[in-house]
């Protein structure tokens, strides 16, 4: 399954089980991740790549580390 397919399925799940503001919050993060990795298979994305993606976002969203309980 590609990242794009997985994100689409997850967004459908969010719509059926979560509030609008939760969906909006997740969508911003998922859309950025999708822009970079859309055509890659999920199995081909390493945990290290995900960590670096989140680290890069800290510069954009300074409170991300606290919101996600990421280590300093």
Q: What is the DSSP string of the chain?
A: -BHHHHHHHHHHHHHHHS-HHHHHHHHHHHHHHHHHHTTSBGGGS-HHHHHHHHHHHHHHSTTHHHHTT---
pLDDT of residue 7: 96
Q: What pLDDT does 57 receive?
A: 81
- Which residues, including other chains, have CB under 8 Å from residue 19's CB and lie 6 or more apart? none
Residues of the chain with pLDDT under 50: 69-70
Instruction: Give CA–CA dist 12/70, Å, rounded.
Output: 27
pLDDT at 58: 73
- The predicted pLDDT at position 60 comes to 64
């Amino acid at each position: 399954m590609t990242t794009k397919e997985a994100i689409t399925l997850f967004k459908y799940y969010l719509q059926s089980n979560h509030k609008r503001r939760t969906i909006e919050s997740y969508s911003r993060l998922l859309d950025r991740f999708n822009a970079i990795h859309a055509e890659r298979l999920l199995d081909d994305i390493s945990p290290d790549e995900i960590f670096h993606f989140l680290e890069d976002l800290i510069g954009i969203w300074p409170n991300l580390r606290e919101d996600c309980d990421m280590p300093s």
